[in-house]
Structure 1
Amino acid sequence: MVAKRNLIVLGCATALAACGGGTGPQTVGGSAPPTAGGSGSGDTHSFVNPTEAKTYEAIGGVHHYEYYTDSNKTVQRGQLYAGDANTARDSGISVAYDPRDAIFELTISRPNAQVSTDGRFQDPAHRTDFGGAKEPQAGVPNLDPAKNIQYLQFGSGSGSQLPTGSPYYTAGAAQSDYVVGARDYTSDTYSFFYQKPGTTTQYVTYAGYVHNQVSASEIQDDPASPSYLREQYHLDRGAFVFGERTTNANVPKTGSGTFTGDMIATMVFNPDLDTNAGAPTYFQWIDGSQTTTVDFGALSVKSDFTGTVLAPSIDAYTSGASSMPAGSTFSASAQATIDLVNKGGFTGSFTSAKFERPGMSDFTVNIAGSSIDGAFFGPNGEEIGGGFRIVGGTPDERIDILGAFTGKK
C-alpha cells in the first residue's frame, strides 16, 4: 500500500465550532499583562460557546525536520532539524475563531524552529476524522474518541503517486505512512487538531499541528548508472494550549491547589547517530496526563507528567529503526516559579525524564536543556495550561520533546 492515510487535497479547512478567536477586535493573552476581566481581555466567558470573534495567544512549541530518502539506499540524507518552545509572553502562535462565519485561523511564526504558517480554515467540508474514506494525513495522532478531538485539514498537490508496478515500488516504498510520489509529484498538507472545549476544561484546551510537504524526483548520477527515486520531506509538528487567561489581579495569592488534566507531546528520538550517521529520525506523539501542585503563597509549581508513546510515522526506503517503541511509557517531573508581573504566569525547568520500553531497559534522558511555561485560565485561576520542552544532551543523539498540558483544580 503506497500510503496508509488518505489526503484531503482541498483549499482550506473548517470551523472550530467550540472555541473563540478570530479577526475581530478582542485578543486574549499576549505580550502585555492582562489588566481587566476574567478572560484577560475584559470580556465575558465564551470559550465553550463562543459569541464573539477572538484571537488567542498560545503557549507551547513547534519543531521542523527535513531530509530526503533514495530508493537505492536505506538512510535519511540532508538532515536538518530545528525546535523552539515559546513562553506565556512570547507566543508566536495564535488561534483565531469568528463564530459568525465559522472561520478558524492558525498563525505560527517561530523562526528559531523554521516553522511559519498562516492557515485559514473556513470550508465545512474540511472537517475530517479517522475511520472514513478521507482521514487525517500521516503524522496526525489517532487519539481516544473519548477525548473528543476535532480534526481539521487542507492541502494541495500535483502529479501521481508511485504505482505498484514501478521498479521503485519496493518493500521500502510499501512501508511508508506518507504518500509516496512518482517523478515530479508534490503535496503540501496542513492539519490542526484540538480537544473540544468543555470536554475536560472550560477555559483552556490543547491542540496539535502537523504539516507534511512531500515531493519526488527521478535522479541519474551518470549515464552508466541506473536511475533512482528521491523522496524529499519537509515536516513540521507542534503542540500548544490556548484559552481565556486569568488576569494577574485574579490569580490567587495564598493557599494551594492541585490541577490534573491532559498532556500531548511531539518528539524526535534517535539514539543511534553515533553508530550510524544516516540513522533515520521519526516524529512520534506522546499521549498522556499531568498533575501539577501549586503553592500560591510560596509561588512554587511542581508538575509530573506521564504518557504513552505512539508509533512513529515511517517514510519511504529507510530502515524503520532508531525510534522509541510504541507503547513505551514516558514520565517526567518539572519545577517552576510563579512570576505574573515579568513572565505572565509560571516558568521553570525539568528535573528528570525517562522512558520505560517494553522488553528493553529503561531509557533516561540526559537533559541538556529544558523549559516549562504556563499560565492560569478562567475568572479566578481555576485552570492551568502551558507548554514544555526537554532536549537531550548525549553526543550523537537527537532527542527533543515538545509538549502541551491542561489541568483543572
Structure 2
Amino acid sequence: MRSFRTMLALSGAVTLAACGGDTRPQTVGGSAVVPSGTPTPTHSFVSPTETKTYESIGTVQHYEYYTDSNKIGQGGQLYAGDANTARDSGISVTYNPRDAIFELTINRPNGLVNVTAFRYQDPQHRTAFGGPLHPQAGVPEFAASRQIQYLEAGTSTGNELAPTSPYYPGSAQSEYPVMDDASNSTRQTLFYQKPGTTTKYVTYAGFVRNNVSGALQTPASGSFLRETYSLDRGAFVFGERSANGAVPTSGTGTFSGEMIASMVVNVDPTTTLDATGSTYIQWMQGMQTTTINFGSKTVNSSFTGTLFAPTLDAYTSALYPLAAGTAFSATGSATIDMVNRGGFTGSFSQACFATTCTAGNSLNIAGSSLDGSFFGPNADEIGGGFRIVGGTPDQRIDILGAYTGKKP
C-alpha cells in the first residue's frame, strides 16, 4: 500500500455535576473493596456522587506525516489503528464530581496512542461550537440534539502564521494551525455525550489530539517551511458495567442507539493528481440497531451513518475521495461470552459507502472487529467499539468507532 508508508499490525460527564461525596476511587467493571461499616453507595452515572474510574471499550488511531510549502502532498507517513475488547481496555475515564475533574488515560501501544492521566476541569476547560473559544480543528460538530460536551486544553510555543506570511497556503485551506519556524502547537480535546441524553448507564466519547510543528528548511535550491503533523483520534464508551449474573440467558432483545466513528482514507495515487497518495481523517455520526438472542448468545448489528468533511492541512491537495454527506452502512455479528470475554466479540460481514450495500459497492473487508458489553443493573443497555479495515490494493480505509444502545 503506497499511502501508508508504514502500516502497523491490525488489532483486532454527562451532567456530571460537581457534587460532594466519597472521593475514594473505584473501578467500574471490577469489584471495589467496600470497608466494613461503609454506607451503601448512592452513585448514579447520570448524577454521580463518588469518584470513579470507568474502563472503556473502543478504538484509537494515530497518523503522522509532513507537508512542505513548496509542493503539494504528504511525506513521511506513518499510520496505526487499534480496537480493544471489554477485557482488554487500555482506555479509562476517571471523574471526580467534587472538583468536576475528568482524567483521561489511554495506553494502546498497537495504536501508537498514549495519554497519561491528562486532566480536564469543568468549566475551566469547557468549550463549544458557536462560542468565542470553539474546539480545535479535527473535532466533530455533532447534531445539537446529541448534547455533546467538549473539554479542551493545550500548549503552544513560537508563532502561528497569518495569511500574509509567504509560507501560508495561497488557498488558505488550512484548518490546522500553520506553525512558523521552531514553533509548535499541541491541543487535546475530550468530548462525550451527556449521560441521560439517550442512555442512563453508558455513554460514548471521543478524543482528538493535534500536534503541529513548523521548521524552516534551507537547501541550496531555496528555503521552504515544513509542517509536521502528529494526529491522534479515539472513540469509546464508558459507564456502569452489568454484573455477569444480570445478563439474561434466555429470550431476545433489541438495543438501538447512536454511533460515532473516525475514519482514515487515502487517495489512490494512480488515479488522481496527488501522486503521494495523501490520507484524510473524517468523522461520521450515525445510528445502530443490535438484536440479541440471549439463549443462543448471538448478536446481530447494523450501522448507518453520514460522513463529515475531512480536516485539511496547509499543503495537501484536498482531493479526498469521499465527500461530506456520503452515506455509510455496515452489518456485523458477534457471540456473547461473559465469563471469558466480559461481553461479546465478533466481526463485520459487509460495509459500504451507500444507504444499501450490494455486491457492486461493498468494501473489500481485510479485517474487522465488533466488541461490546452490557451496562446497567439489569443489562438494560449496551455499548462497545468497532473497526472495519477495507479498500483496494492502492487505497485503504480504516473505520474505528463506538456505539451505545438501549431497549425501546
Q: Calculate the TM-score normalised by the size of structure 2.
A: 0.89
Helix, strand or coil at the partner of 2:392: coil
Choose from 227, 251, 258 the match for 1:231: 227
Choose from 266, 279, 283 the match for 1:270: 266
- For 1:267 and 1:22, locate their aligned partners in 2 and report how far apart those are by CA, in whole Å: 40
Helix, strand or coil at the partner of 1:249: helix
Deviation at 1:45? 5.0
| CA distances 1:18-64 after superposition (whole Å, capped 9, x unpaired) | 2899983311026x8x999xxxxx95551000011100000000000
Instruction: Assess if the C-alpha contact under 8 Å between 2:52 and 2:95 holds in 1.
Output: yes
Note the 1:323-334 alignment, pairs <5 A.
Answer: 323-334=321-332
1:148 aligned partner, one-letter code: Q
Deviation at 1:398? 2.2
Who is 2:384 aligned against?
A: 386
Who is 2:114 aligned against?
A: 116
Deviation at 1:356? 2.4
1:147 aligned partner, one-letter code: R
- For 1:19 and 1:277, locate their aligned partners in 2 and report how far apart those are by CA, in whole Å: 51
- For 2:33 and 2:382, locate their aligned partners in 1 and report how far apart those are by CA, in whole Å: 18
Who is 1:47 aligned against?
A: 45
- For 2:62 and 2:96, locate their aligned partners in 1 and report how far apart those are by CA, in whole Å: 29
Q: CA RMSD in A?
A: 2.3
Deviation at 1:395? 1.5
- For 1:149 and 1:237, locate their aligned partners in 2 and report how far apart those are by CA, in whole Å: 16
- Cα distance change, pair 296–290 in 1 and its aligned pair in 2 (3 A): same
Helix, strand or coil at the partner of 1:240: strand
Which region of structure 1 is more displaced relative to structure 2, 114-123 or 50-59? 114-123
Who is 2:204 aligned against?
A: 206
Note the 1:10-49 alignment, pairs <5 A.
Answer: 17-18=15-16, 24-29=24-29, 45-49=43-47
- For 1:231 and 1:51, locate their aligned partners in 2 and report how far apart those are by CA, in whole Å: 45
Instruction: Assess if the C-alpha contact under 8 Å between 2:14 and 2:193 holds in 1.
Output: no
- For 1:393 and 1:316, locate their aligned partners in 2 and report how far apart those are by CA, in whole Å: 26
- For 1:175 and 1:325, locate their aligned partners in 2 and report how far apart those are by CA, in whole Å: 16
- Cα distance change, pair 22–398 in 1 and its aligned pair in 2 (3 A): farther
| CA distances 1:233-256 after superposition (whole Å, capped 9, x unpaired) | 000001000000100001111100
- For 2:279 and 2:24, locate their aligned partners in 1 and report how far apart those are by CA, in whole Å: 41
Choose from 79, 82, 98 the match for 2:80: 82
For structure 2, the residue ranges without an aligned partner over 5 or more in a row are: 1-12, 35-39
Who is 1:295 aligned against?
A: 293
Helix, strand or coil at the partner of 2:159: coil
Instruction: Assess if the C-alpha contact under 8 Å between 1:82 and 1:113 holds in 2.
Output: yes
| CA distances 1:288-321 after superposition (whole Å, capped 9, x unpaired) | 0000000000100000000000000011111001
Who is 2:252 aligned against?
A: 256
- For 1:23 and 1:400, locate their aligned partners in 2 and report how far apart those are by CA, in whole Å: 40
- Cα distance change, pair 19–344 in 1 and its aligned pair in 2 (3 A): farther
